[in-house]
């Protein structure tokens, strides 16, 4: 999988490895994920919270969701987010997401389970908090 993703990025004129020689490619899949994580500024102390929130959503929900569903979830967490911001972040992460049509809606999910393993090393464990919001948002409040 890593070779496929790396070669795809090398072939794009605007790919994340456009100025990289082959010997400068990241080592293995986690290295590849880490390279992308760094290029998005996710290791910075002021990383965009919306990106963290979207990644937390996917990490905890582990199913396909539309930008509108994620937007609805984020509104529960922070009121100033806009749908186009959610869509922009999803577009930035396109190489890690798989698109699928469900119920007439374009939905996205992580391409490979190994990305969840990578996220476990990068994101704080807020599963209980997010699971409550996600369940209430997507499936209605059961309480």
Q: Two tokens at 10?
A: 């090398």
Per-residue pLDDT of 1-46, as tens digits, reads 556 666 666 666 666 555 556 566 667 778 878 877 887 778 877 7
Per-residue pLDDT of 35-76, as tens digits, reads 778 877 788 777 788 888 888 888 888 789 999 999 998 888
Which pLDDT score, from 0 to 100, does residue 17 have? 58
CB 75 within 8 Å of CB 134: no
Does pTM surpass 0.75?
Answer: no
């Amino acid at each position: 999988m890593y070779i496929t993703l790396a070669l795809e990025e090398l072939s794009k004129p605007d790919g994340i490895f456009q100025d990289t020689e082959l010997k400068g490619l990241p080592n293995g899949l986690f290295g590849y994920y880490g390279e992308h994580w760094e290029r998005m500024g996710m290791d910075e102390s002021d990383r965009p919270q919306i990106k963290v929130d979207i990644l937390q959503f996917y990490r905890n929900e582990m199913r396909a969701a539309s930008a509108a569903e994620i937007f609805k979830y984020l509104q529960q967490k922070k009121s100033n987010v806009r749908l186009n911001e959610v869509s922009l972040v999803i577009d930035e992460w396109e190489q890690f997401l798989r698109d699928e049509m469900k119920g007439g809606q374009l939905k996205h999910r992580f391409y490979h389970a190994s990305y969840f393993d990578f996220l476990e090393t990068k994101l704080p464990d807020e599963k209980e908090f997010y699971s409550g919001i996600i369940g209430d948002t997507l499936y209605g409040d059961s309480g």
